Structures are given as structure tokens and as C-alpha cells.
Amino acid sequence: MKGLQTIMGLLTAIVCIVVLRVEAQSPKGKYGNVALTNATIETVTKGTIQNGTVLIVDGKITAVGSNVSIPTGTDVIDCKGQFIYPGMIDAGTNLGLSEISSVARTTDFNEIGEVIPQMKALTAVNPNASAIPVTRVSGVTTALSIPTGGMLSGTAALINLHGYTPDQMFAGFEGIVLNFPNTGRRGFFDRRTDEEIKKASDKALASLNDVWEKATQYQKLDSATKGKAGYYPELQALIPVMRGEQTLLVEVNASKDIQAALKWLKEKKVKKSILTGVAEGWRVADEIAKSGIPVITGGVLELPTRDYDRYDKAYANPGLLKKAGVKVAIKSESNNNNYRNLPYHAGFAVAYGMNKEDALKAITIIPAELFGVANKLGSIEVGKSATLFICNGDPFETKTQVSHVFIEGWSMPMVSRQTELYNEFLKREPGLKK
Amino acid sequence: MKKLFVLLFSSFILLGAMAQVDRGNLLIKNGTVITITKGNLEQTDVLIKDGKIAQIGKNITAPAGIKIVDASGHFVMPGIIDAHTHIALDGINEGTNPITPEVNESDVINPFQIGIYRALGGGITTVHAMHGSANAIGGQCETIKLRYGTFDPEVLKMDGAPRTIKFALGENPTRSHGEGSGIVPRTRMGVEFVIRQAFTEAKEYSEKWNQYNKSKLVKGFRGAPPSYSYRHEVLSDILNDKIIVHCHSYRADEIYMMLKVCKDFGIKRIVFQHVNEGFKVAPELAAQGAMASVFSDWWAYKFEVYYSTAYNAAILAKNGVVTSINSDDGEMMRHLYHEAGKTQKYGGLSDEEALALITINPAKQLGIDNRVGSLEIGKEADIAIFKNHPLSIYGVPMFTIVDGVIRFDREKDPDDMRLMVDPKQAIETATFRDKLSDQDHCMEGAEFILDSELFNANKK
């Protein structure tokens, strides 16, 4: 009898395992050599190729052109009537760091502390965040995942949106985030007086200067002692920036603050820096251009920052910056898990004045250059990583459908929880009556 | 003579009391007219007389002296309607009690807000200016037309539009009252209870009054009237189908609960707002004639919108639910046409179906579809003129017309369109939206009772 029970128990367990395995079976990425044929190829850096082929071998683009011979045994995807673009890069997200933005226990982008550059976003990137597939099926293949809050919030990391560990996802760039002292208001609930705002920002600048002075001294000490200057993790983390080996990402939005930041970066002789946000960049575009410091601006779909500004200034900002001679990348808004809308931010910039080619570059090759990964990402070129997508039209157009996404040669399953819910509920069963 | 004077004087007073709404005459020439209800008409003119559409056709002869807008190569569509906004209001949440139908947004309309003009810049002509979502039964809302330029709040009101009221289910009322003040509701059970309790009390209230009104007709009746309660008057009006309920909701379970409450109390007209999980109970919504006003793709900013899908609008529409796309946000409302376009990506809606989501469908939800929401003769001349198709990312509103009056002209309007300059306002101060704040503005004005982690997160 006992034996029977054991057998029954075992059988139940086996059935359960089988059922669970079936239940848990989500489609996986597929790796292999693929030829994408008959496509219109938007290389971004080398013009448009009609009726062309992109050959993917071992995760890399090995041939691009209208006359590509396809090795035997290569899978072929006929892209007739379709377009191939390099994967889009969103340089302003917290992908992997936030599951539900208002539920603190599901977010990992805001550590305690004002000066914590040693906090590394890559550590906390959850490869299984639900927003990752939601984002990548729209052709956004790569994202800068950014810690926020405090003054030096941590180290941002560029990730490809496929992989099972942070290291598998890492796309080759990390940068230190500085929230430059801000004289703007933070929204309808920020009811500080102008004096309070000024005081807070002056205090922040003094404290930033203090940190920088300490970091400068520490860096000298570190050189002199050959790395034995003692354990000061926040100062240690700043050394690569001091030595011009790492990029400082300076989040700054109000025009006055942008001017102050430019002055500060010059004074402190920061070699590698990028301004991010830059909502009021158009007001001081010439000064930014003169500094030679590149910009990652966005979200573009924003309100003007002042009541008296023209209604479309936020939409026009990227175009105005570009026109003044600034190197411009475009990002979507941070912290809302709608990074899939990146092409629409670029599209609005075009609708309100930016050149279409420049807007496409602003979400592909330019962020790749800014992050020092243009040898791998940002365009369709031989030797680069096969990180690209196939779609049926202009990727900025709202109705355009993305049919395939490749990330480092891996063909992505074109599903996310949002498509799964669609398939389940479009014709719900049972319907009204059970 | 004296009589004449009295007549003149009283009509003067009457005129003063009635809002002076500008209604224009206009001829829009040669555009692609998207009527919404009757197809597209190429190279067609629209003639507007006294604020109403008088004629739609080819080569309409311009009446003498009429202003002409050349829409050659442009798209002429009905003014966009946003069924969920909080613009032009000086107060949004009376967050002191879970039941506050006695308050009314019509008392706090602010015609000076620059947000009204910015909305015009997105082709919007009519909005539902709503109470917030802190309370299970919130305040009454106001349907307003964007007649920007007036200093008179009365002029913004869409005279004769049906009364509406805000309800709210789920996290906002439970965190405002249960978590914030330690009173029911703290759960979705409590939300159902306070709503049913309010309606039951309202029924008792009107029965008492009915009884009294009947009794007092009997000769020799002696007795005092029941005490008057405006709160219960409004609730009774909901039960008597005099007010359309607009119910903030997210999860399928709470939507289903509210459908049952409506059935039990005989409430016929309800529009679910946000309704992110509406797609899960689309057959039930359709069967009861309930409508849905949704976001195009917002999700994951709080737990109750975690299991959302951008295909929500398409699923609802394909299941026969009258669906609209709303903004609940001063920025998003400037490109509802783009938000509607997302239903083509997420669910493959046709141009006509997608544009209905921001025109005739929200008009139905506000009970004003006999007046606006499509381009038809006799309807009010609320019109948006686009360069490029409105569902294209390159679509740009060029003119926005309300009652035949051009309220937005992209080429001619100056940059600074403020009606009033606050002398105390610092010129150099810019405002940036907080990247950590909740996305829906439904809780504006109720921050003091909020779980404050969110609002304090970035306030170091």
C-alpha cells in the first residue's frame, strides 16, 4: 500500500514537472548564420542599399550589399518589401533597474547617498525584467541603464537587451552619473520658493566642488602610492573620470545650469563628458556647440519648461541643437518603462524641424560613438555586431511593424507579455458564458 | 417708456449672466476632409457659419467678406476630444472624504492656464476637466471647450453638455483614505462597500423626500421636510440617469465589481477611465454597454497597471466596446493623434477606427456626439487642420478652430501666448517634470495624504 502511495506520489510529481515545463516554455532566442535578402538596407553610415543582403555569421555582420554570395547551409530570410536598420540605442533608461516605478521594493535605481559613484547599475540589472522584451520587440536593442537620485548617483551601464546575466548583456560602456546642481522646479508638487531653490543649488555646487577637490587629491595620492591610498570607494570610483578614461554623464536641464555646467567642466578640466537631458539646450545652443561637448537630449515628448516659451520648444530642441552644431543623441523619457517609444521621440524631432537622417543617427550611430562602441553598434557595416531589426516601413512612423530583431546575432522571439495578453484576450475563451 | 427701460435693463442683466461665446464664419478650402462618420473627401471645402458647419462640398463659393483658410495639401478633421484631463482647473482633489459628489469642478475653472493653448497646439478642441481619483466617489466634472483667449470661466464651459462625475477604484482611494487616514476603504472590498453604502443612503434619502412631497399635498398635513443634503441630491441624480459616471479603474476585478454595482442600482451610463485591464473583461463591458477611455501604452508605473498591454484599445474596440484614448496629462494631450496611431501598431486598427478613438467615441462618452466629434452639417465647427496625415508621426496641427474661431495658428501665433503675466513669477525659473513621479495626474492636490515615499524620493 505504502509502495503504491509512493508510486502515485512519484507519478504526480512527474506529471507536475511535465506540466510546469510546458507552462514555463517561453520561446528562446535563436543563434545561427542567417542571410537577410532582398531588403532595403539603411546602413546609417553608408547610405541606403536597395535590394540588398545582410549576411550574419557568428553573431557578426560579414557582408552587406547587393551582390552577396550566401554560403550553403545559411538560413535565408526573404525581406522583400522590408527594411533593415541598425538596432536603436536608448541612452536614457533604467531598464532592468525598475519593475514597477512606484513600488520601491521593485526598483533598484535610487541608492541612499548623495555621492555614490561606486554604485554600479550593471550589478542590479535584472535580465528578466518584463520591460526588456517589451522594449526590444520594437527594435530598441540597446539601452543605457542609469541610476538616479542624489548628486553622483552611480555608474550607468550600456546593455544589450538580451542575455541571462548582466555580463552577457553588457554592451561595453560604463559612465558616472552627475546630477548637476539644479535651479529648476521638479513639477507641480515642488512648491519651494525661488530663494529656497537658489540656496539648495548653491549648496549643492559647493558640495560638488568639495567632492571634486577631494577626488583630485585622492587621485594624486593614488598615483603617488601606486594604488595604496586607502579605501575610499566613492573617490576611487571617480579616478577614471579624473584621468580622462571614463565619461562623466552630466544631467542638466535649465539654461542657467547648462552654462554653469559648461563652465564647471572647463574649470575642472573634465576630459570626457556628455550633457544629458538638456531640455533648455536650445536657449544656449551656441555655447554648447562651442564647448564641443556632445548632448543626449530627451525625452522629446515634453512640455515647454516655461509658460512664456513657444508651445513646441521641447519637440524642436534636438533640431535646434543640431543646427547650432552640437553633436546630438536622442533618448526617450526615463523611468516609465516606455522606452519602446524611442523612435517616436526621434520622429517628433523630425516633425518639428530636425533633419530625418540626423534624427536616425541620433538614436543609432551617435550614441554608439558617444559610448565608444561604434566599432560594434549603431550602423549596418561589415565587422559590426549583428544587432539590427527588420521592419515594414519608416521606423519613426507609428504604424510600422517590426518583424525581426537580432541582438549580437541572436534572433529574438517577437513576443512580450503585452503580445501574450493580446493573443489570450482578443477573443477570450470562455467569452461571456462559461 | 418705463416698461421699455425695464425690458432693456433686464435683458442687459440677462446678457451679462449668459456667457458670451464667440462663433465665427470661415471657409476652409481644398483640404482632405476626414469626416470620421462619412468617409474621407478629397479637395473639399468646409463652410462655417455662426460657429456651425453649414456646408461640406467641392468649390463652395465664398460668401462676401468671409475669412478663408487654405487647406490645400492638408487634412481637415474634427477637433480632437480628450475624455480625461485636469487642465484649466484650480483644484483637482477634494481628498478629505471617500465620498464627495457635492464638489464640482465647474467652480474652479481657470481660463488663464497656458495648458489650454498648448492643448490647442495638439488639435484638441474639447476636454473633460475632471476631479481627481483620491475618492471612491469624487467630484462632478466639467466638459469644456478650449476657447482660449477668454477671461471668463463661464465661456469655457460647453453649455448644455451632460453632467458627469468622477468615481475611482483601486489603489488611489485605498492609499488616500485607508493608508493615508486610516478610514475605509483600505481595500477593494472597502471601495465597493462605500459606493454601495452611498447609493443605498441616497435611495433612502430620495424616498424620504418623495414621501414628504406626496404627503404635503394631503390637506391638513403637518410635518417637517427631511433635512436637505446636496451630497445625496447628486447621488440621486446619478441613480436617476441625470449624470454620466466616469470611473477611474485599472484592474479587471474592480471593473467587474463596478459593473455589478451599476446593474444593482440601475445605473445605465458608465465610462471606465484608464481601465488598463479592461481587455480582460471586454465581453462584460460590451454586454452592459459600458464604455472605456484608455491610455495608449502607459503601464508599470504602479502595481495595478503592471499586467497592462498596449493592445488594450484594440481588444476593447474589436470586442464592441465604445473606446477612446485619453491623456490625463498636459503633455500627452498635445499628441493624442499619435497615441491613437499606436492602435495601428498594436492591433492593426484602420485609420477610421483609430481616429474615432479621439473624436466621435470620446464625444459619445461625454454625451456630446450630437454636437461634436465628426464633420457633419449642423455640427459645431470644432476642427483641426493638419500638415501630413494626423496618424503619421510627421502630422503637425496647423490650425485649431473652435466654434468657427481660429484659436491656434501655428504660423501666425507669437511664442508667448500667456493671457496674464504673474508679476511675482521669476522669469528664469524653469519647471521640469519629475522623472520619479506617478504618471497619472489624478492624484494632484492629494499629495498630502499620499504614501509619501514617491513624492519624497527625489526631494533630497
Q: Give residue-wise pLDDT tens across range B217-262.
A: 999 999 999 999 999 999 999 999 999 999 999 999 999 999 999 9
B98 and B166 inside one domain: yes
Looking at residue B117, which CATH number applies to its domain? 3.20.20.140
Of A189, A307, A351, which has the smallest distance from its Cβ to B393's Cβ? A351
- A-chain residues within 8 Å CB-CB of B334? 311
Query: Between chains, do B311 and A421 touch, taking CB under 8 Å as contact?
Result: yes
Could you please report the per-residue DSSP string of A47-79?
Answer: -EEEEEEEEEETTEEEEEESS-PPPTT-EEEE-
Q: Where are the domains of chain A?
A: 26-87+378-434, 88-376
pLDDT at B215: 96
Instruction: Say whether A86 sits in a helix, a strand or coil.
Output: strand
Dump pLDDT digits (tens) for A44-80: 999 999 999 999 999 999 999 999 999 999 999 999 9
pLDDT at A12: 54
Residue B4, in any domain of the structure:
no
Is residue B456's pLDDT more than 90?
no
B365 and B243 inside one domain: yes
Query: Between chains, do A186 and B434 touch, taking CB under 8 Å as contact?
Result: yes
Shortest distance between the Cα of A430 and any Cα of chain B, in A, equals 10
> Looking at beta carbons, which pairs linking B145-148 to residues 24 or more positions away fall under 8 Å?
B145/B382, B145/B402, B145/B403, B146/B116, B146/B119, B146/B120, B146/B400, B146/B402, B146/B407, B147/B21, B147/B22, B147/B402, B147/B403, B147/B405, B147/B407, B148/B111, B148/B116, B148/B117, B148/B120, B148/B407, B148/B408, B148/B417, B148/B419
Asked if B404 and B95 touch (Cβ cutoff 8 Å), the reply is no
Average pLDDT over residues B375-391: 98
Question: Which residue range is the domain that position B354 belongs to?
Answer: 80-370+430-453
Query: Between chains, do B435 and A309 touch, taking CB under 8 Å as contact?
Result: no
CA-closest candidate to residue B279, choices B252, B297, B258, B260: B252
CATH superfamily of A88-376: Metal-dependent hydrolases (3.20.20.140)
CB pairs under 8 A between A and B: 203
Shortest distance between the Cα of A242 and any Cα of chain B, in A, equals 26
Is residue A23's pLDDT more than 90?
no
* Residue scoring higher pLDDT (A333 or B213): B213
Is residue B184's pLDDT more than 90?
yes
Residue B423, in any domain of the structure:
no
Instruction: Say whether A426 sits in a helix, a strand or coil.
Output: coil
Query: Between chains, do B395 and A351 touch, taking CB under 8 Å as contact?
Result: yes
Query: Between chains, do B436 and A312 touch, taking CB under 8 Å as contact?
Result: no
B167 and B44 inside one domain: no
CA-closest candidate to residue B27, choices B58, B77, B70: B70
Of B279, B284, B302, which has the smallest distance from its Cβ to A102's Cβ? B302
B162 and B293 inside one domain: yes
B102 and B36 inside one domain: no
- Span between the terminal Cα atoms of chain B, in Å: 73
Interface test with A, best of B259, B388, B436, B443 (most A CBs within 10 A): B436
CA-closest candidate to residue B337, choices B393, B383, B291: B393
Mean pLDDT of chain B: 92
pLDDT at B443: 76
Dump pLDDT digits (tens) for A246-265: 999 999 999 999 999 999 99
Looking at residue B58, which CATH number applies to its domain? 2.30.40.10
pLDDT at B424: 77
Nearest chain A Cα to B116, which residue? A311
Average pLDDT over residues B385-389: 98
Pick the CATH number of A26-87+378-434 from 2.40.110.10, 2.30.40.10, 3.40.30.10, 1.10.1040.10: 2.30.40.10
Residue A408 CB coordination number (10 Å): 23
- A-chain residues within 8 Å CB-CB of B124? none
Model ipTM value: 0.93
- Span between the terminal Cα atoms of chain A, in Å: 40
B69 and B177 inside one domain: no
Distance in angstroms (rounded) separating the CA atoms of residues B288 and B266: 11
pLDDT at B328: 95
B392 and B307 inside one domain: no
Query: Between chains, do B302 and A100 touch, taking CB under 8 Å as contact?
Result: yes
pLDDT at A163: 97
Nearest chain B Cα to A306, which residue? B430
Distance in angstroms (rounded) separating the CA atoms of residues A374 and A318: 21
- B-chain residues within 8 Å CB-CB of A339? none
Asked if A304 and A310 touch (Cβ cutoff 8 Å), the reply is yes
Of B114, B338, B391, which has the smallest distance from its Cβ to A307's Cβ? B114
CA-closest candidate to residue A409, choices A58, A4, A161: A58
Dump pLDDT digits (tens) for A181-222: 998 887 766 778 888 888 999 999 999 999 999 999 999 999
Mean pLDDT of chain A: 94
Give how many domains chain B has, as a whole number: 2
Cell of B420: 496674464
Nearest chain B Cα to A113, which residue? B460
Confidence of residue B450 (pLDDT cuts 50, 70, 90): very low
Distance in angstroms (rounded) separating the CA atoms of residues B137 and A244: 59
- B-chain residues within 8 Å CB-CB of A184? 429-432
Confidence of residue B449 (pLDDT cuts 50, 70, 90): very low
CA-closest candidate to residue B21, choices B178, B144, B162: B144
Query: Between chains, do B121 and A312 touch, taking CB under 8 Å as contact?
Result: yes
Of A99, A149, A398, which has the smallest distance from its Cβ to B344's Cβ? A398
Query: Between chains, do A104 and B330 touch, taking CB under 8 Å as contact?
Result: no
Instruction: Report the percent of chain A where pLDDT is more than 90.
Output: 89
Asked if B123 and B410 touch (Cβ cutoff 8 Å), the reply is no
Confidence of residue B429 (pLDDT cuts 50, 70, 90): confident
CA-closest candidate to residue B234, choices B126, B324, B155, B135: B135
Phi/psi of residue B305, each to 5°?
-115, 20
B309 and B397 inside one domain: no
Residue A57 CB coordination number (10 Å): 16
Dump pLDDT digits (tens) for B31-74: 999 999 999 999 999 999 999 999 999 999 999 999 999 999 99
Query: Between chains, do A422 and B311 touch, taking CB under 8 Å as contact?
Result: yes
Confidence of residue B428 (pLDDT cuts 50, 70, 90): confident
B394 and B352 inside one domain: no
Average pLDDT over residues B187-210: 98
What are the CA-CA distances from residue B84 to residues B106, B328, B441 (Å)? 15, 5, 10
B264 and B308 inside one domain: yes
Confidence of residue A300 (pLDDT cuts 50, 70, 90): very high
What is the length of chain A?
A: 434
Query: Between chains, do A419 and B307 touch, taking CB under 8 Å as contact?
Result: no
pLDDT at B65: 96
Is residue B14's pLDDT more than 60?
no
Confidence of residue B111 (pLDDT cuts 50, 70, 90): very high
pLDDT at A21: 45
Query: Between chains, do A149 and B301 touch, taking CB under 8 Å as contact?
Result: no
Interface test with B, best of A425, A427, A428 (most B CBs within 10 A): A425
Of A256, A347, A425, which has the smallest distance from its Cβ to B280's Cβ? A425
Shortest distance between the Cα of B10 and any Cα of chain A, in A, equals 41
Query: Between chains, do A341 and B297 touch, taking CB under 8 Å as contact?
Result: yes
Query: Between chains, do B429 and A197 touch, taking CB under 8 Å as contact?
Result: yes
B112 and B91 inside one domain: yes
Dump pLDDT digits (tens) for A303-352: 999 999 999 999 999 999 999 999 999 999 766 799 999 999 999 999 99
Shortest distance between the Cα of A56 and any Cα of chain B, in A, equals 28
Instruction: Say whether B52 sits in a helix, a strand or coil.
Output: strand
Is residue B15's pLDDT more than 70?
no
pLDDT at A22: 45
Instruction: Report the percent of chain A where pLDDT is more than 70.
Output: 93
Is residue A243's pLDDT more than 90?
yes
Instruction: Give the range among A178-182, B17-21, B155-159 with minimum mean pLDDT.
Output: B17-21
Residue B174, in any domain of the structure:
yes
Angle at A336 between CA A361 and CA A426, to 5 degrees: 100
Nearest chain B Cα to A93, which residue? B435
Q: In the β-sheet with B291-294, what is the strand arrangement from edge to edge?
A: B80-85, B124-129, B137-145, B163-168, B243-249, B270-274, B291-294, B323-325
Of A100, A337, A396, which has the smallest distance from its Cβ to B303's Cβ? A100
pLDDT at A184: 85
* Residue scoring higher pLDDT (A243 or B447): A243
Of A148, A352, A397, which has the smallest distance from its Cβ to B435's Cβ? A148
Query: Between chains, do B436 and A148 touch, taking CB under 8 Å as contact?
Result: yes
Is residue B7's pLDDT more than 70?
no
The enclosing H or E element of A130 equals none
* Residue scoring higher pLDDT (A278 or A10): A278
pLDDT at B19: 75
